[in-house]
């Protein structure tokens, strides 16, 4: 009995020692054999912009957010820009306070991020959105706030709508510099302008008279006379002249001059130009004539050699127009047209360093206007009529006033210039076509055969089709078309 009790006590003591040894091994820190085996602590970002959702708010506007779990903590980076209000464990309200940017994070009881929001507070743009939608129902214009500025994007039907939307946003912002217009125009229209410029000018010159030129003297008394034509300032070489009465020993000559000249000039141009709505197109049909602008001298030679420097002045028919397609197919057209030609009137003569030249003048008729026309409608710029009349009588004082004999001592000069200019403008809204539907002036042109060119003197065959021969009409037997002789 005694031995059994002793053995039992020994077993309990050994088990207690074993348990105590195990406990000590668990509680005692395990020191690493080498410091290189120590693992660094992991730093984890609990919330950042990478896990945030962007939300745009207007000043004084708010949004309600329902969260999946209960909220324990809220972080607002800048409470002066936006604020977060918790009304229940899973519902929060975010309110915009002033223009700026901030972010808000929501955490649960364990410190884990529930949601994050990147808040951009801008001015309230709902009024602008409603005004644009009401003014342009067919346009797709988007409005976004960038700080205190406004960004317009989307599509507009015409440049006018895009400009009006920009003006409306600028009025709201108070400054055009705060509005960025990124609106693109959908299917920009193209406008073809057909212009007909017609001008008729008629000049009439009449000259009749007796010109006494020279001197007649007796002793110390000398009588000199000269009665040129003063209205035109010219003495035409093709006038009728009869000279006589030249006493011996004196230089007095009497010349009868008579002239009647009439001329008619017709100018016609029909330019066709096509431009995109809102862009400018120009056309010039004419030429350039040289004008001396100075002298360029080589001072290395003795004497210096001078050469005139030349610039060129344009003349002819010019056209510049800027179309803007409005709604309902109407076209706002800014038009500038000019017809000019070289004239000897008011010409000047220059003589410098042994160089002499005559610089002509330019007669110009110019019109500029801005109108609205429908596609296919015409505008006539007419009534540009100019008439200039000069009538001059020159002669010997006293003698020219005699009733009948005074005709021998006077000259009559009469000039009448009449000019009328008409410009007809017709805009069309056009679209590109295939090259096969276009034609050229030389389509169907064919050179003549050698027998026709040598024997008959033809310059070309009749053209009007690709083969050079137009198809015969049912009511006309033979060839027809354009003929150049």
pLDDT digits 0-9 by tens, 404-458: 777 767 777 778 877 777 888 888 888 777 777 777 777 777 788 888 888 888 8
Give the Cα separation of 67 and 346 in Å (integer). 90
- Residue 266 in contact with residue 317, Cβ under 8 Å? no
Separation of alpha carbons 236 and 411, rounded Å: 14
Q: What angle do CA 195, 200, 205 make, to 5 degrees?
A: 160
Cβ atoms of residues 63 and 93 within 8 Å: yes
- Cross-strand partners of 187: none
Residue 27 pLDDT > 60: no
The pLDDT, as a whole number, for residue 64 is: 92
Query: For a pLDDT cut of 70, what percent of the chain falls above it?
Result: 73
Q: What does the pLDDT look like over 208-231, one tens digit per residue?
A: 776 666 565 665 555 555 555 554
What would the two tokens of residue 377 be? Answer: 């409608």
* pLDDT attached to residue 104: 93
Average pLDDT over residues 229-256: 54
Of 152-156, 296-300, 318-322, where does mean pLDDT reach its minimum?
296-300
Give whichever of 243-252, 273-282, 384-393 has the largest mean pLDDT. Answer: 273-282
Beta carbons of 297 and 306 less than 8 angstroms apart: yes
Q: Please give the radius of gyration of the chain, using alpha carbons only, rounded to the nearest integer.
A: 49
| Inter-CA distances, 447 with 101, 266, 451, 464, 480, Å | 79, 31, 12, 13, 16
The percent of residues in the chain predicted with pLDDT above 90, rounded, is 7
Alpha-helical runs (H) found in 150-245? 159-173
User: How high is the pLDDT of residue 298?
Assistant: 76
Residue-level pLDDT at 463 = 59
Q: Give the tens place of pLDDT for each residue, 55-70.
A: 888 888 899 999 999 9
What are the tens digits of pLDDT across the range 75-88? 999 999 999 998 88
HSE (side-chain half, CA atoms, 13 Å) at 450: 0
CA 442 to chain centre: 33
Average pLDDT over residues 230-259: 55
Higher model confidence: residue 205 or residue 116?
116
The order of strands in the sheet holding 113-122 is 53-58, 113-122, 100-107, 73-76
CB 349 within 8 A of CB 329: no
Q: Which two tokens stand for residue 66?
A: 């329902």
pLDDT computed for residue 189 by the predictor = 77
Q: Report the 10 Å Cβ neighbour count for 426.
A: 17
Whole-number pLDDT of residue 328: 65
Q: Distance between the two ends of the chain, CA-based, in angstroms?
A: 157
Instruction: State the average pLDDT over residues 16-39.
Output: 47
Higher-confidence position of 394 and 21: 394
Q: By mean pLDDT, which of 113-117, 247-251, 254-258, 348-352 is the weakest?
A: 247-251
- The mean per-residue pLDDT over the stretch 314-333 comes to 82
pLDDT of residue 232: 53
Residue 186 has pLDDT above 80, yes or no: no
Report the pLDDT averaged over residues 150-163.
83
- 103-140 per-position pLDDT tens digit: 999 999 888 889 999 998 888 888 888 888 888 887 88
Whether the predicted model's global pTM rises above the 0.75 cut:
no
Question: Which of the two residues, 97 and 385, has the higher pLDDT score?
Answer: 97
**Placement of tokens 């410091």 in the chain:** 35
């Amino acid at each position: 009995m005694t031995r059994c009790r002793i053995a039992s006590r020994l077993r309990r003591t050994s088990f207690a020692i074993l348990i105590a040894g195990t406990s000590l091994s668990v509680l005692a820190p395990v020191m690493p054999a080498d410091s290189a085996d120590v693992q660094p602590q992991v730093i984890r970002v609990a919330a950042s912009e990478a896990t945030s959702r962007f939300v745009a708010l207007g000043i004084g506007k708010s949004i309600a957010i329902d969260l999946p779990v209960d909220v324990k903590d809220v972080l607002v980076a800048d409470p002066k820009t936006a604020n977060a209000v918790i009304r229940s464990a899973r519902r929060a309200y975010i309110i915009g306070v002033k223009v700026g940017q901030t972010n808000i994070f929501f955490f649960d009881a364990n410190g884990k991020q529930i949601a994050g929001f990147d808040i951009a507070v801008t001015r309230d743009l709902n009024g602008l959105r409603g005004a644009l939608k009401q003014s342009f129902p067919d346009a797709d214009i988007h409005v976004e706030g960038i700080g205190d500025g406004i960004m317009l994007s989307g599509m507009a039907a015409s440049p006018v709508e895009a400009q009006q939307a920009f003006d409306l946003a600028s009025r709201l912002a108070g400054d055009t510099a705060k509005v960025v217009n990124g609106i693109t125009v959908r299917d920009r229209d193209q406008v073809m302008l057909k212009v007909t410029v017609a001008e008729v000018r008629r000049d009439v010159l009449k000259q009749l008279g007796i010109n006494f030129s020279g001197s007649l003297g007796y002793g110390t008394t000398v009588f000199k006379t000269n009665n040129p034509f003063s209205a035109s300032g010219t003495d035409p070489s093709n006038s009728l002249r009869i000279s006589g009465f030249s006493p011996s020993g004196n230089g007095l000559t009497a010349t009868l001059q008579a002239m009647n000249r009439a001329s008619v000039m017709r100018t016609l141009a029909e330019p066709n130009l096509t431009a995109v709505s809102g862009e400018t197109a120009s056309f010039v049909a004419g030429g350039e004539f040289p004008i001396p602008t100075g002298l360029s001298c080589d001072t290395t030679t003795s004497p210096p050699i001078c050469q005139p420097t030349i610039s060129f002045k344009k003349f002819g028919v010019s056209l510049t127009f800027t179309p803007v397609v409005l709604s309902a197919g109407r076209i706002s057209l800014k038009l500038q047209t000019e017809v000019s030609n070289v004239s000897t009137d008011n010409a000047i003569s220059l003589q410098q360093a042994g160089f002499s030249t005559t610089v002509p003048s330019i007669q110009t008729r110019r019109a500029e206007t801005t109108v609205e026309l429908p596609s296919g409608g015409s505008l006539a710029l007419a009534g540009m009529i100019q008439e200039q009349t000069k009538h001059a009588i020159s002669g010997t004082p006293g003698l020219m006033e005699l009733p009948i004999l005074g005709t021998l001592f006077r000259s009559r000069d009469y000039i009448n210039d009449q000019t009328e200019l008409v410009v007809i403008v017709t805009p069309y809204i056009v679209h590109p076509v295939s090259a096969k539907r276009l034609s050229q002036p030389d389509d169907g042109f064919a050179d003549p055969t050698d027998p026709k060119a040598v024997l008959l003197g033809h310059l070309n065959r009749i053209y009007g089709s690709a083969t050079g021969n137009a198809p015969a009409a049912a009511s006309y037997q033979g060839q027809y078309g354009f003929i150049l002789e």
